Structure 1
């Protein structure tokens, strides 16, 4: 049959099912800030769902489906969370929650915080504990040199400070 005579969705149809959001296979380590951010996500989604409660349009039903799916995702992330307080960690080596200052061979200094997957934001210097950079830094001490294996090539970094 020719596709010319098949009715295409016009955007008003409601999706019957949404695929669930995929969870990371890694342990969900979180800092207190990360756990708070996850709870804020849930609270925001609950508020959005409440604001749509009386609306019956197809668009609102679609939005509620997305909200409900995201609620299931974030509630599960919270349920799986393993809280690690950086204040309880030793500062003599890089670990989850540490803030690490490194220096490149050219003398450029960068600071990174090793955090959970949900709170990672490379632009803010917050790197996931499962990232290649965090894995390279893991258990290093001040003065140690580590190799960060990037897609564009390897970079040697020297640990300058750990907080």
Structure 2
């Protein structure tokens, strides 16, 4: 190995780790697939950055690799809900708020949540308020109330 290669990789300063939630890393089966895809992408990005000698890209890829490796190691796949009697991780829930706004979303793991696309994290206050509740139950959310209309 040449001295230049040793110096180049030694000069790569790792970026600070991405924050990792203290909550259990409960995920849906789709969420686990996404984590595994992100881990594979981070591995590929690291290899590409090493080949290109791009120290900034290498530092970023290493940070992502540490994050996704940790998330994969702690992921616990929640079983698909067997019934729709009460809200659980993986359910799609429709609520109606006091102002008659209807909202439908799926409760998923933290890394797969994307509210703009209809998914919220199991750690979100709304999801936490809904867990264990049934159709017709009213929950207090965001300074108001909402009734559960559908669980699927």
| TM bucket, shorter chain | 0.7 to 0.9
What's the counterpart of residue 28 of structure 2?
31
Post-superposition offset of 1:112:
1.4
RMSD: 1.5
Choose the corresponding residue for 2:78, options 84, 87, 93. Answer: 84
What's the counterpart of residue 16 of structure 2?
19
Q: Any unmatched runs of 5+ in structure 2?
A: 1-10
Alignment of 1:162 with 2:146, yes or no, is no
| Partner Cα distance (1:115, 1:37) in 2 | 12
Post-superposition offset of 1:62:
1.7
What's the counterpart of residue 63 of structure 1?
57
**Where does 1:38-117 land on structure 2 (aligned, <5 Å)?**
38-56=35-53, 60-86=54-80, 88-117=81-110
Q: Secondary structure at the match of 1:113?
A: strand
**Segments of 4+ moved more than 6 angstroms:** none
| Partner Cα distance (2:82, 2:28) in 1 | 12
Greater Rg by CA: 1
Q: Secondary structure at the match of 2:52?
A: coil
Post-superposition offset of 1:15:
5.8
Greater percentage in helix: 2
